[in-house]
Structure 1
Amino acid sequence: MTGDRAAVLVAIDAANAADPTLEGGRPAALLYGERMTEELHRLFPEAGDVLRIAARGQHIERWTLPRNAFPEGKPGYLTWRREQGRRHGARLAALMADAGYDEAAQERVGILLRKEGIKRDSEVQALEDVICFVFLRWYFADFAEGRTAEDLQRIVEKTAAKMSPEGRARAVAEFDLPEPFRGAFLD
């Protein structure tokens, strides 16, 4: 299972540096990967290589498969997300193979990115908690603009439902969540 994690992270960053979408003058996918790594280090400092690689590469080259390539509505969105997870897993597995990781590690990164076993697999759940923290910390405010209070409540409830009980408790402690959003994390 041992490979060169640093080489994989450099390759992920190089791929994501090509993102044409900029955020604060930097490629958005590169910035997202850095934010995922920061949150993972903070929330799960003992995370192993595969989880660290999955977090950094969770959105690797996401822009190459745009959402508008799929039908509108929930079924189209879910199909797009499944395909993104599959593609990201395959892309990271190839980078891991190049860096000396064995097939088990390559398969495992795909499981994490496809979120297979969420709520049952501690690493899949850890990745999901990190994703939710990154969303709340960096993207929720912009995401909320132009949405109704009812839509936001539904989105917050779905976000909280994806998280572990420990993740929800930590979110309540770390974020100044207004009511009724706070209640979604207290179940």
Structure 2
Amino acid sequence: MKPIRFETAIALIDRKNSEDPNVYHACGLDFPKELLYSQRMSQKLLQFKPDASRALQIAARAQHICRWKIARDEYAMDRVGYLKWRETLKKMHADITAEILKEVGYEDEFIERVSFLINKKLIKKNEETQTLEDVICLVFLDYYFEEFTEKHDDAKLIDILQKTWVKMSEEGHVEALKIKYSEKSLTLIKQAIS
């Protein structure tokens, strides 16, 4: 029996992300950083929206595909440079994913839909784009925020939290408040959203 194209696409995205030379340590194991991130995205998406479309599931899995290939320091270390870097990354993520989807036999319309989502078009206006943004924020809060608390002062952390909160939907906010945080993180979140 031929493997189903959705599963094949996910496996090919994972194969690309498993090439990440950056290592992330979690649960006593070392993972290729973007492979672990992409699996966390899929898991969080299905917790948040169990009936997520195939296009949204692929966009979530491929959201950071091959991210290490374009380094942040290739762009000016200011806000403008940061935004240019992010735009270049989004285009690369969408292009690599489109190639994979073509390879496994998806139609152009489906591929365009996934690219639209990866490029995060129409946040706040498009339900699936907003869901993807919510999931990105939820993964950050659940898995990566504690690390940030060790590297930044409270004022910076509150600023990061406020920017994260603004990007999220009401439904995303409800989900974010279900996450188990350390006492310090929870205090910062309460300050940020009050």
Aligned to 1:182: 190
Aligned to 2:133: 128
**Superimposed CA distance per residue, residues 68-106 of structure 1 (whole angstroms, 9 cap, x where no aligned partner):** 111111100000001101110111111111111111111
2:17 is matched with 16
TM-score by length of 1: 0.93
Q: CA deviation at 1:173?
A: 3.0
- What is the identity, as a one-letter code, of the residue corresponding to 2:12? A
1:178, CA displacement in angstroms? 2.3
Residues 41-78 of structure 1: per-residue CA shift (max 9 Å, x gap)? 10011011110001111100000001111111110000
Compared CA separation, residues 107 and 150, structure 1 to 2 (3 A): same
Corresponding position of 1:117: 122
Which stretch shifts more, 63-72 or 140-149?
Answer: 140-149
Kept in 2, the 8 Å contact 1:168–1:185? The answer is no
| TM-fit CA distance, 1:180 | 4.4
The answer to whether the 8 A contact 2:91-2:119 is kept is: yes
Range moving further from structure 2, 96-105 or 149-158 = 96-105
CA–CA separation in structure 2 for the residues paired with 1:12 and 1:180: 35
Q: Which runs of structure 2 are paired with 1:58-97 in the superposition (5 Å)?
A: 58-97=63-102
Question: Aligned letter for 1:182?
Answer: K
Provide the rounded CA distance (Å) in 1 between the counterparts of 2:146 and 2:188: 16
Partner SS state of residue 109, structure 1: helix
5+ long unaligned stretches in structure 2: none
Is the 8 Å Cα contact of residues 15 and 60 (structure 1) preserved in structure 2? yes
Contact 1:50/1:108 (<8 A) preserved: yes
Structure 1 residue 108, shift from structure 2 partner: 1.2
CA RMSD, Structure 1 to Structure 2 (Å): 1.4
Contact 1:19 1:63 in 2 (8 A): yes
For residue 146 of structure 1, report the CA deviation from its aligned partner. Answer: 2.5
Deviation at 1:144, TM superposition (A): 2.3
State the number of aligned residues: 184
Amino acid at match of 1:10: A
What are the Cα deviations for residues 78-137 of structure 1, in whole angstroms up to 9, with x where unaligned?
000011011101111111111111111111111111111000000000001110110011
TM-score of the superposed pair, with normalisation by structure 2: 0.90
Displacement over 6 Å in runs of 4+: none
Q: List aligned pairs for 1:90-169, cutoff 5 A.
A: 90-169=95-174
Residue type matched to 1:179 in 2? T
Gaps of 5+ in 1: none
Q: Say if 1:172 and 1:182, in contact at 8 Å, map to a contact too.
A: no
